């Protein structure tokens, strides 16, 4: 059942009725709101103003908006200089370029001194569809999470992206936040609690036997799987782990203790992503059988979002298969 305490969208699991919105719109609106509250916020982009939705901020606060052109390396280091002075810079580009192309500049000029630069990587995951392999950021979480002191966020939906943006504006230190291109179902509402560093149980049966942990819009597939599994009397728990770093270690361990098995789901390489992070925590504290759904050491390609999720094994069906595998491993 959907967790009633979270005030989730009552239509969330009605895939025909549920509203579809962009996480990047949530970011753009959250940034506009944050900009109105804090004059120190500045926004820099590398020729991707509209696509990353910083145009809302740019139109409202043109003097605090800075276009650097196709120059992702300077984007990071100019922001470092502005933060050194006392500004709170948001830098927007595509995940493949930032933190992809400019990783060393982020590490050296933002990470080491812990400047409050907010790095926004849009077009992350397979869901960018048509544009194909060169633009599908599938390694950004791994790149960001190895930088000491970096907070790493993957919002679930439009509402969560909006809340996350307003919160990171006030957070000390650097942040990486990834955004999708495609629309995704609006699962949460404005009332749903959100706190950086937490994870939330979106769904749980009475006696869940497997935990499915994921982040980003792809987690919807896990919710659909949970609903379908309920029909065959298999109880699972679905956890939204929007903060990849710092990870909600206690919450994850607690969930693994409750169910005894974990499936991770992410639109990212399985190496170095959320699944790896969870595996690191559980293998040290409470090892349980795991299945890791994500991109299995492959590159992306063009196609419809649905086709790509099927090809790379990220659908409801794949989640169900993984859950059943774990149950049989445990002899249930």
Partner 1 sequence: MKYTIEDLESKAKEVRKDIIKMILKAKAGHPAGSLGMTDVFVALYFAILNYDLQKPDWEDRDRLILSAGHICPALYATMAHAGYFDHSHLWKFGDFGGMLQGHPHKGFLKELETTSGPLGSGLAQAAGIAYSAKMDDQRFRTYCITSDGEQQSGNHWEAVMFAGKNNLSNLTMIIDRNNIQIDGFTEDVMPLEPLADKYKAFNWSVIEIDGHNFEEIINAVNKARAIYENPTAIIARTIPGRGVDFMELNPGWHAKTPTKEQATKALKEIRNMQGSIKEYGE
Interface residues with partner 1 (CB under 8 A) are 42, 63-64, 66, 68-69, 71, 73-74, 76-87, 89, 104-105, 108-109, 112-113
| Residue 28 vs 111, nearer CB to partner 1 | 111
| Residue 36 vs 148, nearer CB to partner 1 | 148
| Residue 85 vs 299, nearer CB to partner 1 | 85
The H-assigned helical ranges of the chain are: 23-37, 55-60, 72-85, 103-105, 140-145, 158-168, 219-231, 249-259, 274-285, 305-311, 316-329
Residue found by looking up tokens 């749980």 in the block: 204
Shortest gap between Cβ of 170 and partner 1 (angstroms)?
20
- Residues that are catalytic: 72
Token code pair at residue 221:
């597939």
| Residue 149 vs 246, nearer CB to partner 1 | 149
Gap between the Cα atoms of 260 and 214, Å rounded:
17
Sign of the dihedral defined by the CA atoms of residues 233, 17, 203, 122, in that order: positive
Shortest gap between Cβ of 59 and partner 1 (angstroms)?
18
Shortest gap between Cβ of 63 and partner 1 (angstroms)?
7
DSSP state string for 112-177:
TTT---EEEEESBSGGGGGG-GGG-B-SHHHHHHTSTT-EEE--SSHHHHHHHHHHHTT-SS-EEE
* Residue among 310, 323, 160 nearest 238 (CA): 323
For 320, residues 6+ apart whose C-beta sits below 8 A from its C-beta are 225, 228, 229
Shortest gap between Cβ of 68 and partner 1 (angstroms)?
6
Q: How many CA atoms lie within 13 A of 207 on its CB side?
A: 3
């Amino acid at each position: 059942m959907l967790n009633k305490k979270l005030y989730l969208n009552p239509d969330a699991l009605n895939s025909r009725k549920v509203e579809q919105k962009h996480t990047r719109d949530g970011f753009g609106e959250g940034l506009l709101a944050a900009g109105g509250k804090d004059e120190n916020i500045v926004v820099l982009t590398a020729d991707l103003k509209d696509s990353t939705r910083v145009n809302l901020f740019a139109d409202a606060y043109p003097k605090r908006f800075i276009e650097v052109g196709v120059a992702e390396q300077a984007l990071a280091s100019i922001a470092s200089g502005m933060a050194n002075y006392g500004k709170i810079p948001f830098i927007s580009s595509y995940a493949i370029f930032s933190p992809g192309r400019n990783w060393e500049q982020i590490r050296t000029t933002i990470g080491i001194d812990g400047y409050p630069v907010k790095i926004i990587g849009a077009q992350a995951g397979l869901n960018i569809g048509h544009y194909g392999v060169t633009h599908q950021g599938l390694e950004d979480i791994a790149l960001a999470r190895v930088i000491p002191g970096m907070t790493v966020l993957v919002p679930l939906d439009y509402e969560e992206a909006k809340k996350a943006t307003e919160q990171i504006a006030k957070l000390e230190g650097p942040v990486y936040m990834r955004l999708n291109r495609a629309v995704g179902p609006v699962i949460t509402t404005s009332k749903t609690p959100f706190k950086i560093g937490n994870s939330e149980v979106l769904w749980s049966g009475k006696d869940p036997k497997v935990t499915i942990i994921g982040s980003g819009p792809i987690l919807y597939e896990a919710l659909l799987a949970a609903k379908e599994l309920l029909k065959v009397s298999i109880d699972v728990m679905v956890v939204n782990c929007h903060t990849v770093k710092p990870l909600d270690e206690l919450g994850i361990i607690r969930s693994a203790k409750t169910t005894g098995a974990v499936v991770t789901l992410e639109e990212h390489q399985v190496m170095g992503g959320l699944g790896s992070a969870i595996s690191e925590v559980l293998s040290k504290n409470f090892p349980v059988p795991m299945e890791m759904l994500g991109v299995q050491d492959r590159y992306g390609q063009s196609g419809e979002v649905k086709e790509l999720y099927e090809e790379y094994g990220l659908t409801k069906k794949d989640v169900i298969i993984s859950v059943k595998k774990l149950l049989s491993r445990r002899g249930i």
